[in-house]
Amino acid sequence: MDSQTVDAAPRAGEAPRTAATLKSNALGVLGILFFVLSAQAPLTGIAGAVPIAVAVGNGPGAPAAYAVAGAVILLFSVGFVAMGRHVVNAGAFYTYIGKGLGRTAGSGSAAVALFAYCTVQAAMYGLYGFTVSGLVAHYTGVTVSWWVWALVTMAVVQVLGALGIELGAKVLAVFVLAEFSILLAFGLVTLFQGGGPEGLGVADTFSPGAVLQGAPGVALMFAVASMFGFEATAIYGEEAREPHRTVPRATYLSVAVVTGFFAFTSWMLISSYGASRATDAAGKALADGDSTVFVFAPVAEQFGGWVNDVLPVLLATSLFAGILAFHNSANRYLFSLSREGLLPGRLSAVNRRHAPWAAGLVQTALAVLLVVPFAAAGKDPVLTLFSWFSGVGVLACMLLYFLTSVSVIVFFRRERLDTRLWHTLVAPALGALGIAAVIWVVLANFTTLIGGDSATATRLVLAVPAVLLLGAVTARVVRAR
């Protein structure tokens, strides 16, 4: 559907109804950028992924893995943006895939997208609840279970989502700027000081030998996982000012900012330790059970002990921002599917602020259903909920990236709306090959990614094609009826 609004199919006996619309002209480039950066939770990505990429991956060459991942995502973005110029819809992935590969594939991918966003959000609730519980116990001496904080936050996120997209963007802007500022300040100070005890170590980090040492595939896997969520630029197309200009700019800007931030910050962290010592330091942090020490310690050494009090709080706000961003992304998928008649029509209801409040309620209910079983079973929220769901969410999103790249090629070969070969064939094809390679690496190292056993890894991997098939079959049945 090339229009910004789509009429949902009425049920038997119902009069046709006008499609609900999201609030137009509500977001500019920076507003969308803050949603994207929030979904990627920069501090969470740095403190959680970088120590593992260094210790288990390719050591001091890990920053180069972020640069490579950024290049793959940039190639994907070329075709993604080209498609976005002709399709503006809150469904993003599934709408794009449906345009090129057919409605059945599009519907199946919608189920995968919802699965990806909801599982990653649930994973964040696990780490968030654990982090907040620890902070409260540290400062007040009161111990409250992690799941209590998760449930309370679900209610807060539901309210913020219903209050409108502009308020959400303002809240996220505060949190994102706070975590970005302190990490960027650390990086710049380290850079201008000439690095750590061994200097900047450019060759130790970015030379071919450094990049290929150890297990570069593992580092690449965690680098790609850290960039998950940038595609949300298209989800907010209906709410953007001049979407045909705003969305492309926001997409390219988000890829550039995220790639540069992760590559630069991880490089400065390694430099602060020294390339020859960084791998051992990251390994020790993991062995001690707190990977954040690898990141927090050099920042505290640079700026003072107060950082050890501030960074854990910023980690909690980083997770909260990511949770809110994924809530908004998932409820817009539910809204769009309802508007097209694939889900009950009530889910396309919007309030006076043109926020999809009904879809938001369902998304919050899904979060409860995903989180509560782990709490009831007494599972560790970090080792199970966070690790398992973040891994399977990343795998699901990689599948969506691949299908979207293929769909872009098919769509423009058939429709001829854009005859630029680089934008509609070459870049999408290269992006698809790069993403296929990443999927292979993720599958080969999936047990490491989730930090679990092979049986759990197998079940989680099989869940992704199962959701794709279930979504496709369900959509065909609904349309047939």
Mean pLDDT of 137-148: 92
Q: Is the pLDDT of residue 3 over 60?
A: no
User: How do residues 85-94 score in pLDDT, each as one tens digit?
Assistant: 777 655 567 7
Tokens of 445: 């190292």
Q: Is the pLDDT of residue 312 over 80?
A: yes
User: How do residues 279-289 score in pLDDT, each as one tens digit?
Assistant: 999 999 888 87
Residue of 201, 188, 216 whose CA lies nearest to 68: 216
Q: What is the pLDDT of residue 20?
A: 61
Q: How far apart are the first and last CA of the chain?
A: 21
User: How do residues 248-270 score in pLDDT, each as one tens digit?
Assistant: 888 888 888 889 999 999 999 99
User: How do residues 384-414 score in pLDDT, each as one tens digit?
Assistant: 898 899 889 889 989 999 999 999 999 998 8
CA pair distance 75, 77, nearest whole angstrom: 5
Binning pLDDT at 50, 70 and 90, where does residue 167 land? low
∠ at Cα 147 (225, 127), nearest 5°?
Answer: 25
Q: Which residues pair with 291 in a beta bridge?
A: none
CA pair distance 80, 347, nearest whole angstrom: 27
| Among 96-110, 262-276, 436-450, the range of highest mean pLDDT | 262-276
Q: Is the pLDDT of residue 108 over 60?
A: yes
Residue 443, φ and ψ in degrees, nearest 5: -65, -40
Mean pLDDT of 119-134: 92
Q: What is the pLDDT of residue 18?
A: 41
Q: What is the pLDDT of residue 35?
A: 66
Instruction: Write the secondary structure of 290-326 as one string of H (helix), E (strand) and C (coil).
Output: CCCHHHHHHHHHHHCCCHHHHHHHHHHHHHHHHHHHH
Which of these ranges, 57-71, 153-167, 317-331, has the smallest mean pLDDT? Answer: 153-167
Q: Is the pLDDT of residue 11 over 50?
A: no
Binning pLDDT at 50, 70 and 90, where does residue 217 land? confident
Q: Are 144 and 133 in contact (CB under 8 A)?
A: yes
Q: Cα separations (Å) of 276 from 32, 205, 248, 273, 303?
A: 40, 11, 41, 8, 23
Q: Is the pLDDT of residue 134 over 70?
A: yes
Neighbouring CB atoms inside 10 A of 341's CB total 18
Which of these ranges, 179-193, 223-237, 275-289, 342-356, has the smallest mean pLDDT? Answer: 223-237
Cα atoms in the 13 Å half-sphere on the side-chain side of 457:
13
CA pair distance 69, 259, nearest whole angstrom: 8
Which of these ranges, 85-94, 101-110, 153-162, 314-323, has the smallest mean pLDDT? Answer: 85-94
Binning pLDDT at 50, 70 and 90, where does residue 170 land? low
| Among 6-20, 143-157, 387-401, 435-449, the range of highest mean pLDDT | 143-157
Percentage of residues in the chain having pLDDT higher than 70: 85
3-state secondary structure at position 199: strand
Q: What is the pLDDT of residue 425?
A: 92
Query: E strands along 73-133, which residues?
Result: none
Q: What is the pLDDT of residue 234?
A: 64
Q: What is the pLDDT of residue 236?
A: 65
Mean pLDDT of the chain: 83
Q: What is the pLDDT of residue 6?
A: 36
Mean pLDDT of 290-319: 88
Mean pLDDT of 116-138: 91
Q: What is the pLDDT of residue 249?
A: 81
Q: What is the pLDDT of residue 2?
A: 41
User: How do residues 347-374 score in pLDDT, each as one tens digit?
Assistant: 877 777 777 788 889 999 999 999 999 9
Mean pLDDT of 177-187: 88
Residue 199, φ and ψ in degrees, nearest 5: 80, -165
Mean pLDDT of 134-149: 92
CA pair distance 327, 309, nearest whole angstrom: 28
Q: Cα separations (Å) of 53 from 57, 62, 151, 266?
A: 5, 6, 31, 10
| Ramachandran assignment for 59, one of left (phi > 0), alpha (psi -120 to 50 degrees), beta (any other) | left
Q: What is the pLDDT of residue 17?
A: 40
Q: Are 382 and 130 in contact (CB under 8 A)?
A: yes
Cα atoms in the 13 Å half-sphere on the side-chain side of 247:
29
Burial class (CB in 10 A: 0-12, 13-18, 19+), 257: middle
Which of these ranges, 54-63, 81-90, 234-243, 372-381, has the smallest mean pLDDT? Answer: 234-243
Q: Are 224 and 71 in contact (CB under 8 A)?
A: no
CA pair distance 319, 327, nearest whole angstrom: 12
Q: What is the pLDDT of residue 347?
A: 80
Binning pLDDT at 50, 70 and 90, where does residue 5 land? very low
